[in-house]
Amino acid sequence: MIFWVWVFGLIYAGLLVFASLKSYKKNRSSEEFMMAGSNIGLTLGVLTFAAALFSTFTFLGMPDFFRINGVGAWIFLAVSDGAMVFLLLWFGYHIRNRVKGMEFRGVSGLISRCYENKLAGYVFFLSAFLFLIPYVGIQIQGIAIFMDAAFPGSFPAWGWSAGIVLIMLVYSEIGGLKAIIFSDAIQGLLLLGVIWIIGWACLSHFGGIGPMFEKVGAMQEDLLSTPGPQGLLTPQFLIASLIAILMIPVTQPQFTTRIVVMKSMKTMQLMAVSLGAFAILVILPTIFIGMYGADLYSEYGRDEFFANAFLYDQPDAVAALAIIGLIAAGLSTTNAQIFALGSELRGLLRGNENSIMRKTKIGIFVFSIIAFFFSIIVFDQLVLLARVSFAGTGIMGPMIILGILSDRKVSPAIIYFSLGGLLVFLSSLAGFIPDMYAGLRLDLLLFVSLGLVALISHLTGKKQQLVPPVKDR
Amino acid sequence: MEKKKLYWRICCVAAIGLCILTFTPLVIPQGIATPALGGVPYSLWTSFIITVLLVVLTYIGTRVHPGMQNEEEL
């Protein structure tokens, strides 16, 4: 296998170096560095959005989620993604119209401007920081676990994590967002190819889709229906997950940035449709891998299942591709998230452009280091931590949608309510307060309450005369 | 233009309707895996169709969204 890892690894590294150098310009402006010149076409747009969205969370997390919770996992992610691409169409139109004629400096900067209140930007940045960093950390950890299984005893897990963070930093520093988008294109295709090769091998183990479900059903019938053997996938959990995933393009800055930097409205629309098709294609083989795990490794822990299904049970070349595919999946998502945090920080800074860029790059470095430490200390199911990340940032959804869509002068109350909602959600995660009230999940209650506050704020807001957007200073 | 507005609204209502439908016992009857289609459990094949329909609706949305006509590109 080592031979194949070197072969695929060198090809992959070569493509990354090529993408960085192709994106590198000596005297590039900060706009070119942070926003890729806002000129991304359809193919790159689809692949970068998909690569940022489908990470180790999909590659490793979803097979594990299917293995443990059964077929309802499809509703959790694929139906939610289908609804998300429809929302992307609607929200993408509005946000692109909103930023037309001004320099987009991240959601924090935009939302501060919409409310004419800096606190709005700070609250959004706080939520992005608090919920993206652990998510980045667990993805780095996922790669480290996998590498440790592939090369036992060669490096400690933290050594792999440090290496990944280092590659991410060097790479984004050289090429900026454009390099990240180019690498996403490579990684998106690689992810799709590898997940299908492994998925197909797992399906072949059963001899077809029908026999697969027949065998799994005979062993554990609960896997074939909701709420699944652990009782997790209840309608309430799935509805709250749908809302959290719907809010991804609105509240996760790496996605909002990608909507804005698309070349035109038309390419953004087609990107939404293609992304929906890509989602179905990527999630489908994770069912086969999950059912394979349920058949052979139902009693195993997460790490053993990953190591067996993706490495030991596969031919050497496929196992090597899985390693490279996983690194690609993790790297594309983590650098998109870390870079987006840097971009959000930039939107909040004022002063000389050179000084802002220097502080932004220092910020990206600091975020990476914090994510590295999280990768060593966090331990959770990939999918559930990702869901917490989506829900945590999703709390900001009503504030952002109101700020961008409302043509009225609205009360800043939603900013304080969103901050309050964030603190309440954090308190529940820390175990200080319960996460269920009158039989209802706290995250669902927060989404509904903040949505109502946003609606009331809009209805009671003063109508204002529309003025043409002012060029950003 | 008015027609496009109507079609877009129909798309929005259909998308919301599909999402709501997904969380009813019609798609996720608790603990029931039948009737299967080609061996695929009930909730999986029904929700798979819903996912495809949502993507199709998104495509139709790109054709009928009222704001896209004469849209000045960025």
Residue A422 lies in a domain: no
pLDDT in tens, A335-358: 888 888 888 888 888 878 788 888
Domain count, chain B: 1
- Local confidence band at B53 (pLDDT 50, 70, 90 cut-offs): very high
Q: Do A100 and B58 touch (CB under 8 A)?
A: no
How far A211 CA sits from the closest chain B CA (Å)?
7
Residue B35 preceded by cis peptide, ω within 30: yes
Q: Do A71 and B44 touch (CB under 8 A)?
A: yes
Contacts of B63 (CB under 8 A, 6+ apart): none
How far B12 CA sits from the closest chain A CA (Å)?
8
CB-nearest to B51 from A78, A96, A263 is A78
Provide the residue count of chain B.
74
Model confidence at A227: pLDDT above 90: yes
- Of A230, A229, A235, the closest CA to residue A216 belongs to A229
Most confident region among A54-58, A127-131, A143-147, B16-20 by mean pLDDT = B16-20
Residue A202 lies in a domain: yes
Q: Do A72 and B43 touch (CB under 8 A)?
A: yes
Residue B71 lies in a domain: no
Residue B29 lies in a domain: yes
Q: Do B50 and A82 touch (CB under 8 A)?
A: yes
The confidence score (pLDDT) of residue B56 equals 97
Residue A447 lies in a domain: no
Interatomic CA distance for residues A294 and A348, integer angstroms: 47
Q: Do B54 and A235 touch (CB under 8 A)?
A: no
Query: What CATH number is associated with residue A385?
Result: 1.20.1730.10
- Local confidence band at B73 (pLDDT 50, 70, 90 cut-offs): very low
CB-nearest to A86 from B15, B27, B71 is B15
Model confidence at B16: pLDDT above 70: yes
Residue A443 lies in a domain: no
pLDDT in tens, A380-439: 666 777 788 888 999 999 999 999 998 888 889 999 999 999 999 999 988 899 989 999
Residue appearing with tokens 């169409």: A89
Model confidence at B71: pLDDT above 80: no
Residue B24 lies in a domain: yes
Residue B72 lies in a domain: no
Interatomic CA distance for residues A117 and A119, integer angstroms: 5
Q: Do B61 and A224 touch (CB under 8 A)?
A: no
Q: Is A467 helix (H, G, I), strand (E, B) or coil?
A: coil
Domain count, chain A: 1
The torsion angles phi and psi of B8, rounded to 5 degrees, stand at: -60, -40
Residue A409 lies in a domain: no
The confidence score (pLDDT) of residue A36 equals 61
Interatomic CA distance for residues A342 and A177, integer angstroms: 11
Model confidence at A473: pLDDT above 60: no
The confidence score (pLDDT) of residue A381 equals 62
Interatomic CA distance for residues B49 and B13, integer angstroms: 17
At residue B51, what is the residue type? T
Model confidence at A244: pLDDT above 80: yes
DSSP letters spanning A191-204: HHHHHHHHHHHHHH
Residue A208 lies in a domain: yes
Residue A227 preceded by cis peptide, ω within 30: yes
CA distances from A112 to A8, A107, A288, A309, A407 (A): 45, 8, 45, 47, 15
- Of B6, B11, B63, the closest CA to residue A83 belongs to B11
Model confidence at A32: pLDDT above 80: no
Contacts B47 to A, Cβ<8 Å? 74-75, 78-79
CB-nearest to A38 from B48, B61, B74 is B74
Q: How many CB atoms lie within 10 A of CB A216?
A: 25
The confidence score (pLDDT) of residue A348 equals 87
- Which long-range contacts (C-beta less than 8 Å, at least 24 apart) are formed by A440-449? A440/A236, A441/A236, A441/A237, A441/A240, A443/A240, A443/A244, A443/A391, A443/A394, A443/A395, A444/A236, A444/A239, A444/A240, A444/A243, A446/A395, A446/A421, A447/A240, A447/A243, A447/A244, A447/A394, A447/A395, A447/A397, A447/A398, A449/A417, A449/A421
With vertex at residue A137, the alpha carbon angle to CA A372 and CA A170, rounded to the nearest 5 degrees, is: 50
**Contact yes or no for A345/A357 (Cβ under 8 A):** no
How far A34 CA sits from the closest chain B CA (Å)?
18
- Local confidence band at B24 (pLDDT 50, 70, 90 cut-offs): very high
Residue A147 lies in a domain: yes
The confidence score (pLDDT) of residue A20 equals 77
pLDDT in tens, A159-202: 888 888 888 788 777 777 777 888 888 888 888 898 999 999 99
Interatomic CA distance for residues A465 and A411, integer angstroms: 16
The confidence score (pLDDT) of residue B69 equals 59
The confidence score (pLDDT) of residue A153 equals 78
Residue appearing with tokens 């194949």: A4
How far A227 CA sits from the closest chain B CA (Å)?
6
CB-nearest to B57 from A86, A242, A263 is A86
Residue B49 lies in a domain: yes
Residue B12 lies in a domain: yes
CB-nearest to B33 from A38, A74, A217 is A217
The confidence score (pLDDT) of residue A104 equals 81
Cα A250 from chain centre: 12
Domain limits for position A40:
2-392
The confidence score (pLDDT) of residue A105 equals 82
Residue of chain B minimizing CA distance to A265: B73
Residue B74 lies in a domain: no
Q: Do B51 and A280 touch (CB under 8 A)?
A: yes
Q: Do B54 and A85 touch (CB under 8 A)?
A: yes
Selected for mutation to probe chain A from B7, B37, B40, B44 (highest A CB count within 10 Å) is B44
For residues A447 and A55, the model is more confident at: A447
CB-nearest to B47 from A79, A239, A272 is A79
pLDDT in tens, A68-97: 999 999 999 999 999 999 999 999 999 998
- Local confidence band at A157 (pLDDT 50, 70, 90 cut-offs): confident
pLDDT in tens, A246-305: 999 999 888 898 898 888 888 898 899 999 999 999 999 999 999 999 999 988 888 889
Interatomic CA distance for residues A83 and B19, integer angstroms: 7
How far B3 CA sits from the closest chain A CA (Å)?
18
Residue A37 lies in a domain: yes
Model confidence at B72: pLDDT above 50: no
Rounded to the nearest integer, the mean pLDDT of chain A is 86
Domain limits for position B18:
2-66
Contacts A249 to B, Cβ<8 Å? none
Model confidence at B74: pLDDT above 50: no
pLDDT in tens, A93-150: 999 988 887 778 889 999 998 999 999 999 999 999 898 888 888 788 878 877 877 7
ipTM comes to: 0.93
Q: Do B74 and A227 touch (CB under 8 A)?
A: no
The confidence score (pLDDT) of residue A472 equals 46
- Of A262, A280, A260, the closest CA to residue A271 belongs to A262
Contacts of A390 (CB under 8 A, 6+ apart): A241, A244, A245, A247, A248, A252
